[in-house]
Amino acid sequence: MCAIAGQIFPAGIKAEKFRGTYEKMYRTMTRRGPDQNGSFIDENAALIHARLSVVDPENGLQPMELHIGEKHFILIYNGEIYNASELKNELSALGHDFTTHSDTEVLLHAYAEWGEECTGHLNGIFAFAVWEKHNGRIFFARDRMGVKPFFYAVCNNSFIFASEIKTLLAHPFLRPELDRAGLMQIMLLGPGRIPGDGVFKDIKELLPGEQGYFYSKNSGLEKKIYWQLEDKEHTDNFEQTVEKVRFLVTDSIERQLVSDVPVCTFLSGGLDSSIISAVADKHFTEKGERLKTVSVAYKDNEKYFRASKFQPNSDENFIRIMNENLNAEHMLVLIDTPELASALYEAVDARDLPGMADVDSSLLLFCKEIKKVATVALSGECADEIFGGYPWYRDKTIREREGFPWAQSTAWRAGFFRPEFLEGTDPVKYVDHYYRKTVDESSILPGTDKTEARMKQMMNLNVKWFMQTLLDRKDRMSMYSSLEVRVPFCDHRIAEYLYTVPWDFKDHNGCEKGLLREAMKGLLPEEVLWRKKSPYPKTHNPSYMKAVSEELRKIISDPDSPLLSLVRKEALEELLVSENAAPWYGQLMNIPQTIAYFLQLNYWLGKYNVQIV
């Protein structure tokens, strides 16, 4: 993986005058790409690249240039193309010559051959831009599921883009300003974001499955959606569906094991990570190699863990069972409260926004340790969104309730605002607008019954909102330590197919992700195959609640705390003595994480010098 950034100018302005700015932008990119760097600067374009070498480290340098006749293409790219070998054969047959085995060169030739239609040929995770020097325009695109980020701004007649917000903010054209729309997102939707919005004023994000052009001649911006979930008639019977799911999942995992640097898999002992680890273990063993599996745990969790509806059992026993059935070498990362609380602030530096509190900081610490043994990791994110694993898919009461199922606390959230910020705004209507817009955009065939239609709405909501928050987390926390994390369940072929699959297939045997479990019979030990879903592991140690509470009390007692300019002091004091507050964001963000979210918000307002405008 890598970091990309650039600027396209209108005619008459020379990019050279901003060389100092580009050096400043590059310095914000080095964690994502510590191995190599490069730039291309001409009259109307500046392209900057920082590389994390994964495939063909000796070659694949960027920006990569290609001359075909009078045409001159320059590419910068962040991602992996998993069908690069097939595309290379196809392009070779069309007359293209290759000098490396990097997917970067394949992508550049694919664009030269097919233009904007190239995205339809790609299987992978990507954000890239191609400057057409001969046409004076830049083409840009983001992968279908939104795994890789692409932020941008159009200001002063120029197009500025980057992999991360911090890189854009290093440009003098952009300032860390938060307008009313951004403020509402932080307090009423956060850590989620409106699709396509970067929260900071003027900063946008390319949508998953979106591409476009910016023209230097007239400063014109064009964008279009090239892919989205579409409902189709499902003609496969249950047995055929099971077979297709097994093929798609296995094929996706195997494709994503390709690497010229060390690879490992996350292993929580849950269904999704266990499937990935089992397929990867078989692949490595057949090559005469040994897979590494990595797990995270928290100090004294076995002492304080209490089973709940959402977390019925802890991971340790299931991790042990999996490792006894694999040929893998296992590594356990143990996290204690002081480092977990301290890393809340580093997690903001990584994400550029307040995030999922210790759900973020634990992953950031985990990835730091993984980087010591591997450069690439595979993780089980996105299976729950696609196969219907979350409680809100299966609980009829929650499912039929209007609103985002992971955020049913709008009135409570709004109560934290200082009153002047809510003037003229109805918080419930504000949140409902975005919920309703996404529901109404869901592709549903005419004549679909009520239950099936609702399940498609739920999948669309989850893929466009909740999953994006998790993908943000995964990308920023891992790339902060220069670790590439791949997500095989995010293969667009799996999402396309599962969107059409009837709910009673997905809910086979009345079990969450029953279809996936049926498809993977024989691959996993029975105890793991039928283990009830358990969410991402978090600390149950009361010392964490104590630590974050003490930090919030310090903020409350300091009248100069940035947080108090936005949030009511009395509401924060009430939060500290709450015993049964509504979850802030899904089942993982309860009272300790809500307190930690405000710690992150206070830090972010100060560290980024956020100006409310």
Q: Where are the domains of the chain?
A: 2-225, 238-529, 548-612
Per the CB < 8 A criterion, the answer to whether 158 and 141 are in contact is no
Determine the Cα–Cα distance for residues 379 and 388; give it in Å rounded to an integer.
Answer: 18
Residue 112 CA to its chain's centroid (Å) = 29
User: What pLDDT, on the 0 to 100 scale, is given for residue 302?
Assistant: 75
Determine the Cα–Cα distance for residues 543 and 335; give it in Å rounded to an integer.
Answer: 13
| CATH number for the segment(s) 238-529 | 3.40.50.620
The token pair that represents 378 in the structure block: 């595979």
371-384 residue pLDDT tens = 999 999 999 999 99
Q: What is the spatial order of strands in the sheet that 36-41 belongs to? A: 36-41, 45-51, 2-8, 158-162, 151-155, 204-205
Burial class (CB in 10 A: 0-12, 13-18, 19+), 154: middle
Question: Which pTM does this prediction carry?
Answer: 0.96
Determine the Cα–Cα distance for residues 293 and 322; give it in Å rounded to an integer.
Answer: 10
Higher pLDDT, 192 or 101: 192
Q: Which of 2, 367, 382, 490 is catalytic?
A: 2
Determine the Cα–Cα distance for residues 377 and 486; give it in Å rounded to an integer.
Answer: 6
Residue in this structure with the two tokens 């239950």, named with its chain if needed = 451
Per the CB < 8 A criterion, the answer to whether 204 and 196 are in contact is yes
Give the range among 216-225, 293-302, 348-357 with minimum mean pLDDT.
293-302
139-187 residue pLDDT tens = 999 999 999 999 999 999 999 999 999 999 999 999 999 999 999 999 9
Determine the Cα–Cα distance for residues 357 and 115; give it in Å rounded to an integer.
Answer: 41
User: What pLDDT, on the 0 to 100 scale, is given for residue 2?
Assistant: 87
For the CA atoms of 172, 175, 176, 179, the dihedral, rounded to the nearest 10 degrees, stands at -160
User: What pLDDT, on the 0 to 100 scale, is given for residue 307?
Assistant: 60
194-209 residue pLDDT tens = 999 999 999 999 999 9
2 as an active site residue: the answer is yes
The token pair that represents 206 in the structure block: 């390319």
**Quick one: DSSP state of residue 13?**
-
25-80 residue pLDDT tens = 999 999 998 888 899 999 899 999 998 766 666 666 899 999 999 999 999 999 99
For residue 505, which amino acid is it?
Answer: F
For residue 286, which amino acid is it?
Answer: E
Determine the Cα–Cα distance for residues 78 and 96; give it in Å rounded to an integer.
Answer: 22
Question: Which CATH class name applies to 2-225?
Answer: alpha beta
Residue 447 CA to its chain's centroid (Å) = 34
Which residues have C-beta within 8 Å of that of residue 208, sequence separation ≥ 6?
Answer: 142, 143, 144, 145, 146, 195, 464, 468
Tell how strand 263-266 and strand 376-378 pair up.
parallel
